[in-house]
Structure 1
């Protein structure tokens, strides 16, 4: 074989290798759960998120990097090496009122900027873990232990989510935080948990007694309001009755005064007689009249009112007969 033939075979071999490289590196496929980054001479240019068949310049001009589009979970506070033992390496942190608690947090995240994820940080997941730790410790450090262990968990979870999203956006590591779940917040050991349980029970008992006292207070207050309204109603009724009675007395006085102007003597005598009847209801009162020979006295009283007209009539008849004679 001549030297020329050797060169020819070498050229043919190189051509075949080049064609093979071009043929195998000029196209690629992206699945539904994947996304790709195209690198031109090592520089990230564009991200491919549409699934299907795609073409590019052959290697080494362009190359691809595939990443998953699925949602990942970061279990903060768990030691993955102890999963077989069923134990969690919970993270200890100090609350705002200087108590130690243990906390477990799950962060759901996904890659939204593949180029940043690949080249902005050497370990983006470690950056996310550190940002999660900083966010959780900061929020727990400003919260009270009662809130962290009881009704304040939802608020702490929301605040951690907001702070973590802000930190991840500032770091530009191509990750988006989807959700944050505060799994568990607990006390460090059984003795502390027992003591805290007793404190919690005492606080609940105190709140129960306070609520019972408030209920009793409200009942008595409502009763007092009802009694007050009843007294006011009776007073208003008495007021109206007194006013009407006074109006009646005024009308009666006006009527008497009118009669007094017409007949002063008769009205005066009548008032005297009525007053004597009211003052001396059981006495027999006699009114003497010296101006007439017909009637010498007029008895006033229940026992003699019916007999006086008959006596007066008999006396008048006797006097009339003697005059006729």
Structure 2
């Protein structure tokens, strides 16, 4: 009987001890669970009966056990591919449903984007939609397609990438603000853009080769122009200068002739006969500078040489 009592006492004591341990563990877990820590890369949204009561940044905080709940939201920047996915080996796998888009000249282009985003409003991120990333990706696809369709295919592949990603980013940011899904765009960049088929790729390569040939020809023409134009301008200046000199010489000669004529005319007006004779003799001197003068009566059969009366002949003798 005594042994039975001792056994019952031991069992009761063990039960009390176990209950105390359980209660202690419960109290300890409750106390420990009443505190939570928020890191630098997170924000905490505290709700009470489903209603948001606080949004906390980095630090240690207390919540009411069993009444308040804490939702941690990652505030760092994340990235997703649009038009492709990355497999386990790190290889890019094209997603045709996303990457194939139509251009303004009704061609198709395979264009890939990389979207970087982060949470801007933790409360909206948690409560405004069930899957904010999926909503954002659909909005991004719509924004990109609405931008690409405004450009011809050759510009999409070559020169307009920067402008396309800038316009698409602006469209996407405006749409996200309107939808209020709690996300914001950090960056949107074109990863690659190429024709969707091998035949079109070859055609575009030929176009690019032709464009490069055109640029080479234009550069060569400009080089030739830069070399030839100065030479042509110098030659033109030389011709103009020679013409100006010839013009001045002709004018001076004409003015001299005019002055000579005027002086002769003045003398002629004073002494017409004498002036006529002088002009006649001068003209004969010019016409017959080496002519020999022979005086005869018309009957002479033999002409004898006549000595010159000039000083040259006398000095010669």
* TM-score (ref. length: structure 1): 0.70
Equivalent-residue separation in structure 1 for 2:216 and 2:202 (angstroms): 21
Equivalent-residue separation in structure 2 for 1:276 and 1:83 (angstroms): 118
Q: Is the 8 A contact 1:41 1:60 kept in 2?
A: no
> Which residue of 2 is the match for residue 34 of structure 1?
42
Q: In the alignment, is residue 52 of structure 1 matched against residue 70 of structure 2? A: no
Equivalent-residue separation in structure 1 for 2:249 and 2:75 (angstroms): 89
The 3 A distance-change label for structure 1 pair 132 and 250 is same
Q: In the alignment, is residue 156 of structure 1 matched against residue 164 of structure 2? A: yes
Any unmatched runs of 5+ in structure 1?
Answer: 1-9, 287-303, 312-325
| 2:83 paired residue among 68, 77, 86 | 77
Once the two structures are superposed, residues 133-169 of structure 1 have per-residue CA deviations (whole angstroms, 9 ceiling, x without a partner) of: 1122222222222112222222222222222222222
Q: In the alignment, is residue 110 of structure 1 matched against residue 115 of structure 2? A: no
| 1:176 paired residue among 184, 187, 207 | 184
Equivalent-residue separation in structure 1 for 2:61 and 2:266 (angstroms): 123
How far did residue 255 of structure 1 move?
A: 4.2
The 3 A distance-change label for structure 1 pair 232 and 20 is same
How far did residue 126 of structure 1 move?
A: 0.5
The 3 A distance-change label for structure 1 pair 220 and 310 is closer
Any unmatched runs of 5+ in structure 2?
Answer: 1-18, 295-305, 313-317
* TM-score (ref. length: structure 2): 0.72
Alignment of 1:135-214 (within 5 A): 135-209=143-217, 212=220
Q: Is the 8 A contact 1:95 1:142 kept in 2?
A: yes
Say how many residue pairs are matched: 279
> Which residue of 1 is the match for residue 254 of structure 2?
246
> Which residue of 2 is the match for residue 43 of structure 1?
51
1:79 counterpart SS class: strand
